[in-house]
Every structure is written in C-alpha cells, then in structure tokens.
Amino acid sequence: MAELSINEQNSLKQTAQALADVAQVETLRHFRTSGLVADNKKQDAFDPVTVADRAAEIAMRDVLAEMRPQDAILGEEFGYSEGSSGLTWVLDPIDGTRGYISGTPTWGVLISVRDETGPFFGLIAQPYIGERFIGGLGEARMTGPHGEVVLKTRAARVLSQSIMLSTFPAIGTPIEKAAFGALKSKLQLTRYGMDCYGYALLAAGHVDLVVEAGLQAYDVQAPIAVVQAAGGVVTDWQGRPAHEGGRVLAAANAQVHAAALEILREAPEN
C-alpha cells in the first residue's frame, strides 16, 4: 500500500462512514416491506436485484462524487468508473440480496478502498442490526447498539474443534462442493447462509473459518480488509490472493488456514 498522510487516511475513513450512512437509509427504506420486488439478473439461475440495491449504490456514488471525486469506483450494480488518484472504492450495496428479500438480517453493505496491491480498508455494515465492522488503516473494531469492541480473530485450534460459516451448498460446482464436504467432515460445526455477516463474525472471534466459491471482487474486498485487520488470513483455495473473488478461504489464524488449505487445494481449478 502506498504511504497515505493522516489527513488522507481520515478522509477515507470519514467517507466510508458517510457511504454506510446513505446506504443504510436506502436499504432500510425497502427492507421487510410488502411491495418489495426482486428482478432476476440471470436466465439460468436466480440472481436477484432490487430497487434497494440500485438506490443504495446510486446514493453511495453521489457521496463519492462530492467527497472523493478523484477516486475510481467499482460497484456491483453500475460497474466501473475511472478515477485519477490510484485508489478505487469497491461497493456492494447489498451483499446477500437473497437474504434481504427473505427478511433475514445477515445481508450487509460492503465498502472498501483498494490500490494496485489490493484492499487496505474495509467496512461491513448491517443496517438493520446497526452494526459496523471496520478494518484497516490502524483500525479493527465493531460499533453497534451494544457499544464498541476491538475485533480480534480466534486463537489457533484443531479442525475438529473449529466452526465454519458458508453460503454453501447453494453456491459452487460439484468439484467445489466435494472439497467443501471433505473439509466440513473434519470440523466441529458448519452453519450456512450467512453472506457477508460470516466474515464479520470471523473477525469478531466467534468462528474459525469462512469458505466460499463463485465470488466477485465486490463480494470479498471489504471482508478481506476487515478480517486481515483483525488478525485473520484470507486467500483463494491455492493460498494465493483472493482480491478478485472466485474461491475464498478466510481463516482466524495461520494454523487453521494451513489445515483447511491442505484439504481445499486438492480441488482442481478447471
């Protein structure tokens, strides 16, 4: 990461909070309302998008146009916009739209900043619960209705005592599901359907692993920054950077990461 002045760091942090503020308004405006309609982005699968997804991203882009017009933007709904600063805001206005339209509170707003080396600051916000998980630029903390806590991942433990969260089995190829199942068989507990909130719980020290596949850059860059700031490790299933998505292995520490990676890396890439 390039060296940033204190003023620049504070600008990025303040902007991220402002983005979360406007996304909160737009997402809660439609959450658990009877008139909410989901359009399908794909013909061969269900990939929903709602008016809330689009409105939240538009609102965040408007904030960036005012506060950080020099930065590039990559958003799930409206794609890439050029910038001149070398920094890019990566936005997912609702990560977990399936959960959002189902009324569950595990969806979130993902906001991150990256340079040419990858994401270095991220925020995972859950507007309905009122929690924000912040990581990078010297911070690793969660704020919410019950106060503020420091984010710190779990200490090392063997796989047989570990807990994993995932969006599986709904996502993944047969090969990926087989590798996931091989890892699952070694663990104490696996829970499903957590979307981005799983990474927040990993950063907060409640679970040991999050394993996913089929992700996009906007799905994972904020979680990477938050988990790493809390002491965790995030790579793909071969131990390489996972900034662009795909198969993702997030672990509480290097030891549990190595143990899980030994199993997952057996999955052929093609």
Hey, where are the domains in the chain?
6-150, 159-264
Tokens of 56: 């939240």
The pTM of this model reads 0.95
* Phi, psi at 180, each rounded to 5°: -60, -45
Cβ within 8 Å of residue 59, ≥6 positions away:
22, 23, 25, 26
Nearest to 133 by CA among 117, 116, 157, 152: 152
Fold classification of 6-150 is: Fructose-1,6-Bisphosphatase; Chain A, domain 1 (3.30.540)
Protein fold of 159-264? D-Maltodextrin-Binding Protein; domain 2 (3.40.190)
Q: In a structure prediction context, what are the per-residue pLDDT tens digits for the chain, which is 270 residues long?
A: 668 999 999 999 999 999 999 999 999 999 999 888 887 766 666 668 889 999 999 999 999 999 999 999 999 999 999 999 999 999 999 999 999 999 999 999 999 999 999 999 999 999 999 999 999 999 999 999 999 999 999 999 999 999 999 986 666 788 999 999 999 999 999 999 889 999 999 999 999 999 999 999 999 999 999 999 999 999 999 999 999 999 999 999 999 999 999 999 988 886
